[in-house]
Amino acid sequence: MSINISRQNIYLLVLSTMLLIFVLFFSFVVLIPAGKDYREERTKVNHEMKELRRYQNFTDDTLEQLKTLQADNRDIITAFDTSFNPDKFEKQYRVHFTSLELAKQKKVLQDAEEEFAVYEVNTTSAINSPQSFYDFLDAINKSNWVIGVNFPINFKRDAEMIRSSFTMKVYNAQKMEQK
């Protein structure tokens, strides 16, 4: 018995076999190694995306905290930016004292790295009672400046008046120069 296969079928069979060999060769030489590299790269990208989300969440949380702190401390931030005016200070707080005098202010030496300019202000005042001094302290807590009253606070009785003398530090934020 002889098998009758036409020439077209033989060409088709040879072409199909060559195509199958080419597909297998292409798969083992190109696709499978590239697939392994793809899986490795996908794992790296997933890890980097996870890190990016973690850092983004940290940034968002920090920004939210910053906005909350800025909103809660808006008055203090504004007070740091307000420059100290001794005349305005005397006019504003003279009501708490019979007489209020500010000594000449001197700038305290600062390191170049510090963010605030600190001024020392020596004051001498005559008050009727210690209560007016405490009212004064409450008033400067609500003032437009950041002021620290330093100890010791000296009270001296002078007839019907009490003379007080103390040192205050006024804090101002230094403006950063534009480069």
Query: Per residue in 69-94, pLDDT tens?
Result: 989 888 777 777 777 677 777 777 77
Nearest Cα neighbor of 175 from 89, 83, 72, 63 is: 83
pLDDT score of 179: 41
- For 99-148, write each residue's pLDDT tens digit: 666 665 555 555 544 555 555 555 666 676 677 777 877 887 777 777 77
Q: How far apart are CA 170 and CA 120, in angstroms?
A: 7
- For residue 72, what are the contacts with CB-CB under 8 A and spacing of at least 6? none
pLDDT score of 15: 95
Q: Rg of the chain over CA atoms, in angstroms? A: 41
User: How many residues can be counted in the chain?
Assistant: 179
pLDDT score of 73: 82
Q: What are phi and psi of 143, to 5 degrees?
A: -80, 180
- For 21-49, write each residue's pLDDT tens digit: 999 998 888 888 887 888 899 999 999 99
Is-cis flag, bond preceding 33, omega within 30?
no
With a cut of 70, say whether residue 149 has pLDDT above it. yes
pLDDT score of 144: 77
**What is the pTM assigned to this prediction?**
0.47
